[in-house]
Homo-oligomer: A and B are copies of this chain.
């Protein structure tokens, strides 16, 4: 099965907006065993959109488009595709009623031109939009007018705004795809999320022992991002569940729970919030060079308030002393970026906020501020615990500023996770 994704939007090709749809849609499909074979982005003009859709129809069985379904003059995707397929647009009173309910529930009157969004191409199925006005559309093309093999194709049109597209894609489009275009064989996928070891080391560790399962049909994929490596275990067919389960067991034995922080959509921060919640433990943060990124990541997790008592971003020496009780002698003798100060920060946080754990980080993010003994990238991080000794580590994270902050936050969260 061939799948293509077409993102429409001039703002994407001018670089004003990041294309997050690609990742969301490709990942949702891949986790169910559907792989996108090509993604295309074209500006909001008629010839570009029609050419892209026509080409995709000539190659693929499933084509998903994003954007261009709204009420403004830029929103031309629905009309262009209907015209290309020779389908009339028919007013759908049920869609109009839903749009009116949407505005009414927000105490807003229905704006002019709204009814354009209730014009539905003949033969299309409506995917109701619960978070906006333009409905999604699923258009079966049987036969497919642009394919030489005259195979059938399915065209799915999704709205552009992420908060409309995401629930519609997950809750409506994916089940529709699974129903209308079932895979020929059962598909099982499990992603193990790891941190703390490079891609090639992870591969060297697990690939040889998994070789027998690979001969039975296991596929292993590795994806390295900054500070993380995903291991994707896939199998198809009758024995898929058993093969993937066995592979997961083997990989977990080889890598150990220290490296594997979660599965599938887990993040390091959600893993930590869940572990702390289960254990009814609390956390305080004392950040210097990460500047609040650790707190920001932890509070991205719903329910973080049950575990995070406070985060202190003590960017100045003054605030390290005032808020955490770091001693001026320590700062004078060792400097703010030192093992001693990292320790005092974590211990100050745990004592003052009366938590079970406290993480501290202090380092030189750059671009300036380095010395020969402590070049840009030097970091000290500490973990203070209620009933155990404080652990301090030194790291060298020689990256650009934003990467530095992320890698450092990841290492300090890993350090905590290892103790939970």
Contact = CB atoms under 8 A, between A and B. Distances in A.
Interface residues of A, number: 77
B12 A22 contact: yes
Contact of A23 (B17, B38, B40, B223): B17
Interface stretch (A41-49, A249-257, A383-391, A410-418): A41-49
Interface in A24-49: 24-30, 35-43, 48
B23 A15 contact: yes
Contacts of A295: 287, 291-292, 295-296, 313
Interface in A183-238: 221, 223, 225, 230, 232
Contacts of A25: 15
Given A291-B298, A400-B163, A35 B13 contact: yes
B39 A221 contact: no
A299 to B, nearest CB: 3
Copies in the complex: 2
A402 interface: yes
A295 B42 CA distance: 36
B14 A223 contact: yes
Given A37-B13, A38-B48, A405-B299, A315 B322 contact: no
B41 A14 contact: no
A135 interface: no
Contacts of A352: 322
Nearest to A319: B310
A310 B299 contact: no
Contact of A223 (B11, B37, B309): B11
Contacts of A365: 299
Interface in A285-324: 285, 287, 290-296, 298-300, 302, 304-305, 308-316, 318-319, 322-323
Given A17-B23, A42-B38, A292-B293, A319 B353 contact: yes
Contacts of A230: 16
A296 B298 contact: no
| Pairs of residues from A and B, 5 with the lowest C-beta to C-beta distance, nearest first | A291-B299, A15-B27, A292-B295, A15-B26, A311-B313
Given A16-B27, A300-B405, 14 more contacts: A12-B22, A12-B23, A13-B39, A38-B42, A163-B403, A287-B292, A293-B296, A299-B405, A302-B366, A302-B368, A312-B312, A313-B313, A318-B353, A323-B323
